[in-house]
Amino acid sequence: MRLGVIANRLVLVDKDQKDHKNNKGTAVDLEQASKGRFPADPERVFDSWDALVEWAASYTWDDEQERLPLDGLQNPVPAPRQVYGIGANYRDHLEEAGRAQGHQGDIPAPGTPLIFTKFRTSLTGPYDAVPLPTRNVDWEVELVVVIGRHAERVAEKDAWSHVAGLTVGQDISERVIQLEGIAPQFSMGKSFPGFGPMGPVLVTPDEFEDPDDLEIGCSLGGQVMQTGRTGDLLFSVPQLIAYISGVTPLLPGDVIFTGTPAGVGLFREPPVFLQPGDTLVTWVTGIGELSNPVTAGPGYPAADDQDGDK
Ligand code: ZN
């Protein structure tokens, strides 16, 4: 099942359409197509998740139902109760960070996942603007996991059955706020408004040949900046769910940003950061892509302000 949100209403997205480039494909309004059985409100979708998945599998795409174009897709999970982010979860990203900090030789992998939150006011949709507060804002393509079933002390082998679906995310990050101070402040540096684009659709795990090995990437102004495979995650989706749910119960609709591979702007020589006028395109094969225009946000320094780098 491929689920989206258009005009703040849940929509079922045409199953044949794997590639959302050029906004091909169509959708139908979920409440109308199900003759009122399922709600239009995206915040209520997890109340009857199993029944919805079953109904969608047998839905026949006839011509009677009005088709909606996909260019109006919004964040498919606009109001999760909890949002988790994972740092340092790809070896190549860990190594680029280590090199930039002058480490020689092997960088030790973390023994446990590095967890932070993106406060939920940072979440936005697949085509929304990213307003820059400073000149130190960076990109991070990530696979995003959405929980479908209450998960408390879940074993790795049972983890996937607690997942509603997968979507594409950008963990936009203000690097100065993230890293300055007596201890890093990941949650603050990654939570300005517009710093969490998600979408374009939520895809159930059964739609993938191997949900543990998906191709991800992002480009800036047409230049590919990051590519990776989720098969290279240091902590896999089941390991993350087992670890997190051993501390905090995961609730239906909760979101996990699973980490980013190498190629962020901070560790380039010289560093590259987002600028007004850029377009950031972010994809996961089998889900679709985000296309977010970058703008000057409140407080962004004027062009002639050389000290405006903080
Ligand atoms: Zn990240």
Q: Write the pLDDT tens digit of every residue in 129-150.
A: 999 999 999 999 999 999 999 9
182-190 own/partner pairs: CB under 8 Å, 24+ apart: 186/85, 186/87, 186/116, 187/85, 187/116, 187/117, 187/118, 187/119, 190/85, 190/116, 190/118, 190/122
Percentage of the residues of the chain whose pLDDT score is greater than 70: 95
Distance in angstroms (rounded) separating the CA atoms of residues 87 and 37: 40
**Ligand 1 centre distance from Cα of residue 48 (Å):** 30
| Residue 142 Cα to ligand 1 middle (Å) | 7
31 — pLDDT class (breaks 50, 70, 90): very high
Rounded to two decimals, the pTM is 0.95
Q: How far is the CA of 259 from the centre of ligand 1 (A)?
A: 5
Phi/psi of residue 271, nearest 5 degrees: -60, 150
What integer is the mean pLDDT of 32-38?
96
Q: Is the pLDDT of residue 305 over 70?
A: no
Rounded CA-CA distance 223/51 in Å is 42
d(CA 247, CA 120): 20
pLDDT at 107: 83
How confident is the model over 96-136, as pLDDT tens digits?
Answer: 998 888 887 788 889 999 999 999 999 999 999 999 999 99
pLDDT number for residue 55: 96
For residue 56, report the distance from its CA to the centre of ligand 1, in Å. 32
Q: What separation in Å is there between the alpha carbon of 86 and the centre of ligand 1?
A: 6
pLDDT 10s digits, 155-165? 999 999 999 99
Model confidence over 189-225: pLDDT tens digits?
999 999 999 999 999 999 999 999 999 999 999 999 9
61 CA to centre of ligand 1 in angstroms: 37
Distance 157 CA to ligand 1 centre (A): 25
**What is the pLDDT at residue 194?**
98
* Residue 34 CA, ligand 1 centroid: distance in Å: 37
Kindly give the distance from the C-alpha atom of residue 9 to the centroid of ligand 1, in angstroms, as a whole number.
28
Q: In what order do the strands lie in the sheet with 288-296?
A: 130-132, 288-296, 279-284, 215-220, 223-229
- Provide the percentage of residues in the chain whose pLDDT is more than 90: 85
**pLDDT value at position 294?**
98
Topology of domain 83-296 in CATH is Fumarylacetoacetate hydrolase; domain 2 (3.90.850)
Residue 108's pLDDT is 86
pLDDT above 60 (res 281):
yes
Question: CB under 8 Å to 280, separation ≥6 — which residues?
Answer: 130, 139, 170, 218, 219, 220, 274, 290, 291, 292, 293, 294
- Average the pLDDT over 29-43 and give the result: 96
- Cα of 24 from ligand 1 centre, angstroms: 29
The Cα 72–Cα 224 span in angstroms is 25
Residue 190 CA, ligand 1 centroid: distance in Å: 8
Q: Could you tell me the distance, in angstroms and rounded to a whole number, from the CA of residue 140 to the centre of ligand 1?
A: 6
Amino acid at 205: P
Mean pLDDT of 283-304: 93
Residue span(s) of the chain under CATH 3.90.850.10 come to 83-296
Residue 310 has pLDDT above 80, yes or no: no
280 Cα–ligand 1 center, Å: 15
